[in-house]
């Protein structure tokens, strides 16, 4: 780990069937997403259970306004067998300055900044709602956090079509950043799962995947009003 410029941060065991290790960089980098609000710090994690070995990096968001922290994980590599020596060697060789880590971090940072000023489409709202429902949240509770059906109802009352095709072209009342924050906050703080439940990291990874998708709604510079 010293050779790769990381040091252990935590080691967790889940019912004796899974080991999760988090390692932080010896030279962490801090980057601003929004003025005086979120800062991102880069580290790596390794998870080993009977079905897979997974490896990725994580970001610790430091919310300056209230002092809270939120960890967001992103999966980079995975394998289902110890015989996959090529993938295992790649996991062990990735150091803090590895281009793949930097590229993944910079992509997340760029997409986060864009998400601050980009409205989520109805399709994206629907994807977020499905993630909450699949995670075990009651439908009425999911609707309060992500008002997917409420948005559809508003457009239908206005006489506008909101079929599967139109939803990717239809602006919702929520930004992509708000949607991302709702999903990651639930993954981090919900009381439905044990503290080290793998579903937390899975939902976090799915939230990052949603953030990194090509946006349905694009925000352009425009001097023509």
What pLDDT does residue 195 have? 79
What pLDDT does residue 96 have? 61
Boundary-marking domain end, from 71, 100, 129: 100
Do 91 and 163 sit in the same domain of this protein? no
Residue 170 lies in a domain: yes
The whole-chain average pLDDT of the chain stands at: 84
SS3 105: helix
Residue 181 lies in a domain: yes
Strand partners, 40: 31
Do 15 and 94 sit in the same domain of this protein? yes
What pLDDT does residue 12 have? 85
Q: Which residues contact 210 (CB under 8 A, 6 or more apart)?
A: 124, 127, 128, 131, 179, 180, 183
Q: What's the domain range around 149?
A: 119-212
Model pTM?
Answer: 0.71
Alpha carbons 143 and 108: distance in angstroms, whole number: 27
Do 89 and 137 sit in the same domain of this protein? no
Look-up of token digits 């991102």: 40
Q: Give residue 23's pLDDT band: very low, low, confident or very high (50, 70, 90).
A: confident
Do 68 and 25 sit in the same domain of this protein? yes
Alpha carbons 64 and 16: distance in angstroms, whole number: 36
| pLDDT tens figures, 210-222 | 988 999 998 777 7
Residue 222 lies in a domain: no
What pLDDT does residue 64 have? 56
Do 205 and 130 sit in the same domain of this protein? yes
What pLDDT does residue 31 have? 77
SS3 71: strand
Do 13 and 83 sit in the same domain of this protein? yes
| pLDDT tens figures, 42-87 | 788 899 988 899 998 887 776 655 555 667 777 889 999 989 999 9
Do 126 and 204 sit in the same domain of this protein? yes
Residue 1 has pLDDT above 60, yes or no: no
| pLDDT tens figures, 168-179 | 999 999 999 999
Residue 106 lies in a domain: no
Q: Which tokens in the block code for residue 193?
A: 């799962």
Residue 2 has pLDDT above 60, yes or no: no
| pLDDT tens figures, 91-115 | 888 766 677 777 777 787 888 888 9
Does residue 9 contact residue 22 with C-beta atoms inside 8 Å? yes
């Amino acid at each position: 780990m010293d050779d790769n410029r990381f040091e252990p941060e935590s080691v967790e065991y889940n019912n004796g069937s899974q080991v999760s290790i988090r390692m932080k960089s010896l030279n962490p980098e801090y980057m601003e997403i929004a003025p005086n609000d979120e800062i991102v710090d880069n580290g790596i994690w390794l998870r080993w259970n009977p079905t897979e070995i997974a490896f990725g990096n994580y970001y610790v968001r430091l919310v300056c306004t209230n002092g809270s922290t939120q960890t967001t994980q992103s999966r980079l590599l995975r394998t289902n067998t110890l015989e996959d020596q090529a993938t295992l060697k790649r996991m062990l060789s990735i150091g803090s300055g590895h281009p793949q880590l930097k590229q993944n971090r910079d992509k997340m940072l760029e997409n986060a900044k864009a998400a601050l000023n980009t409205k989520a489409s109805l399709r994206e709202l629907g994807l977020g709602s499905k993630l909450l429902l699949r995670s075990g949240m009651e439908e009425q509770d999911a609707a309060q956090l992500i008002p997917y059906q409420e948005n559809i109802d508003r457009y239908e009352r206005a006489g506008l079509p909101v079929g599967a095709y139109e939803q990717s072209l239809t602006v919702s009342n929520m930004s992509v950043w708000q949607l991302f924050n709702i999903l990651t906050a639930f993954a981090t703080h919900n009381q439905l799962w044990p503290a080290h439940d793998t579903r937390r990291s899975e939902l976090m990874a799915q939230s990052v995947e949603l953030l990194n998708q090509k946006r349905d709604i694009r925000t352009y510079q425009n001097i023509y009003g």
